[in-house]
Amino acid sequence: MTPLAALDYASVIVFAISGALAASRAQLDLVGFAFVACLTAVGGGTLRDVLLNRDAVFWIADPTYIVIACLVAAVVFFTAHLFESRQKALLWADAVALSVAVVAGAGVALKLGQPPVIVALMGVATGCFGGMMRDVVCNEVPLILKHGELYASAALAGPLALLLASHFELSRFLGFAICAIVTFILRAGSLAWGWSLPVYKSRPPKN
């Protein structure tokens, strides 16, 4: 198994957990759990592969990803009640998934020799798109749009760190690790300590 394939598997598992937790909050049935888990797990990677025009979308080339997401959904269906706060668990599961998916997206683009702008954008798209679809389907405000959240900015900082590591010719593994750590620290800081970027505030019109 290649490092990028391993990242895709890790991303699918953790995003499937976050999708299934969202389904538990929406009180869906087992099929609903599987649908939301799969949508969340493969949504970002699907967008990445389509935009990069890869030979086959990763989960079509290997349907094992869908099977894994369904199995994760089934496990969460029977265990979600054990979490004291499913919203808190969802947010932290999503933070972990974001940090892994960003690496998977940026890593694929980097391997294909894409320019830095595309590498950064593929990291953001892979990390954010699945969670955004999950929240829309579950009728919640997408995390990427919530006021003051470090989400898309965290997903962008990770690939930039990866590009910097690549520029200084660090090993690919070390670059991936730095990308994931930067993304997770920023997202975790937003959840735990309220880190945020300045937001626009409208001013009253002058008389």
Residue pLDDT, tens place only, 51-104:
999 888 999 999 999 999 999 999 999 999 887 688 888 899 999 999 999 999
Position 151 in a domain: yes
C-alpha 110/C-alpha 4 separation (Å) is 11
Position 135 in a domain: yes
Q: Which amino acid is at 176?
A: F
The more confidently predicted of residues 1 and 166 is 166
What is the rounded (10 degree) CA torsion for 86, 87, 91, 96? 10
Tell me 53's DSSP state. Answer: T
Q: Report DSSP letters for 113-182, one per residue.
A: T--HHHHHHHHHHHHHHHHHHHHHHTT---GGGSTT--SHHHHHHHHHHHHHHHHTT--HHHHHHHHHHH
- Quote the percentage of the chain above a pLDDT of 70: 99
Position 121 in a domain: yes
**Token pair in block for residue 16:** 């499937």
Position 205 in a domain: no
* Span between the terminal Cα atoms of the chain, in Å: 66
Half-sphere exposure of 56 (CA within 13 A, CB side): 6
C-alpha 76/C-alpha 31 separation (Å) is 12
Q: Is 200 left (phi over 0), alpha (psi -120 to 50) or beta?
A: beta
Position 186 in a domain: yes
Position 203 in a domain: no
Position 142 in a domain: yes
pLDDT of residue 207: 61
- Asked whether the whole model's pTM tops 0.75, one would answer yes
Is the pLDDT assigned to residue 4 strictly greater than 70?
Answer: yes
Is the pLDDT assigned to residue 158 strictly greater than 80?
Answer: yes
pLDDT of residue 154: 96
Position 85 in a domain: yes
C-alpha 22/C-alpha 29 separation (Å) is 12
Based on the structure, what is the number of domains in the chain? Answer: 1
Q: Are 86 and 76 in contact (CB under 8 A)?
A: no
pLDDT of residue 146: 79
pLDDT per residue as tens digits for the range 100-126 = 999 999 999 999 999 999 999 999 999
**Token pair in block for residue 30:** 């087992």
Q: Which domain holds residue 161?
A: 3-193
Average pLDDT over residues 132-160: 90
Q: Report DSSP letters for 185-204, one per residue.
A: HHHHHHHHH----------P
C-alpha 129/C-alpha 46 separation (Å) is 9
